[in-house]
Structure 1
Amino acid sequence: MKITTWNVRGLSAPNKRRLVKRVLSRSASEIIVMQETKLSIDNAEGFLKYCRDWEGVFQEANGSTGGLGILWKPDSVKVNLFEKAENWMICNVYNIRENSKFPLINVYGPSKTVEKTKVWNILTNKIKDLMSDRVVVAGDFNALLDLDQKKGGLRMTNKVMDDFRDFVERNQLVDVKPKNGRSTWINRRVNFANISERLDRHFIGEYWMGSSFQAEACILHVSLSDHFPVELKLSEGLPKGKSSFKVLSMWWRDGEFLSNLERWWKEINIFKGTPSFFFVKRMNFMKKKIKRWNRDCFKNIFEEKSRIEEALLQINSDTILRGMTNDTFLREKALKEELAEVLLRE
Structure 2
Amino acid sequence: MSLLSWNCRGLGNRRTVRALVKVINKQDPNIVFLIETKSDLDWMLKVRDWCKYKNGFIVPSRGSSGGLALFWKKEIRLDIQTYSHSHIDAWVDGEDGIGWWHLTGFYGEPYTSKRGESWQTLKHLHGTSSLPWLIIGDFNEITSVAEKEGGSNRTRQQMKYFVDTINFCGLKEVRFTGPLFTWLYLKEDGSQIRERLDRALATVEWFHLFPMAKLVHLTSSVSDHSPLFLQFYAKPRKQKMGRVFRFESMWLKDPRCEAIVENAWDDGLLGGSDDVLNKCLES
TM-score range for the pair, normalised by the shorter chain length? 0.7 to 0.9
Distance 2:237 2:157 in 1: 40
- Gaps (5+ residues) in structure 2? 239-283
2:60 corresponds in structure 1 to 60
1:95 corresponds in structure 2 to 94
Tell me the TM-score normalised to structure 2 length. 0.77
Residues 174 and 202, structure 2, Cα contact 8 Å, conserved in 1: yes
Superposition map of 1:61-76 within 5 A: 61-75=61-75
Query: Going by fraction, where is helix more abundant, 1 or 2?
Result: 1
Distance 2:187 2:136 in 1: 27
- Gaps (5+ residues) in structure 1? 241-346
Residues 210 and 232, structure 2, Cα contact 8 Å, conserved in 1: no
Superposition map of 1:93-132 within 5 A: 93-132=92-131
> Structure 1, residues 232-266: CA drift from partner, whole Å, max 9, x if none?
222222599xxxxxxxxxxxxxxxxxxxxxxxxxx
Q: What's the CA shift for 1:176?
A: 1.5
Q: Which has the larger radius of gyration?
A: 2
Q: What's the CA shift for 1:82?
A: 1.1
Residues 9 and 37, structure 2, Cα contact 8 Å, conserved in 1: yes
Q: What's the CA shift for 1:45?
A: 2.0
Q: 1:80 to 1:209 in 2, by over 3 A?
A: closer
> Structure 1, residues 101-148: CA drift from partner, whole Å, max 9, x if none?
11111111112233211121122122212122x111010000001110
Structure 1 residue 206 corresponds to structure 2 residue 207: no
Q: What's the CA shift for 1:190?
A: 9.0
1:173 corresponds in structure 2 to 171
Distance 2:36 2:28 in 1: 22
1:22 corresponds in structure 2 to 22
Which structure would you say has the larger RCO, counting Cα contacts within 8 Å and 6 or more residues apart? 2
Q: How many residues align?
A: 238
Residues 7 and 35, structure 1, Cα contact 8 Å, conserved in 2: yes
Q: Secondary structure at the match of 1:49?
A: helix
Distance 1:102 1:212 in 2: 11
Q: Secondary structure at the match of 2:213?
A: strand
Q: Secondary structure at the match of 2:3?
A: strand
2:194 corresponds in structure 1 to 196
Query: Going by fraction, where is strand more abundant, 1 or 2?
Result: 2
1:182 corresponds in structure 2 to 180
Distance 1:5 1:79 in 2: 16
Distance 2:148 2:221 in 1: 20
2:137 corresponds in structure 1 to 139
Instruction: Give the residue type in structure 1 aligned to 2:28.
Output: A
Q: What's the CA shift for 1:173?
A: 0.4
Distance 1:142 1:239 in 2: 38
1:8 corresponds in structure 2 to 8
Q: 1:23 to 1:98 in 2, by over 3 A?
A: farther
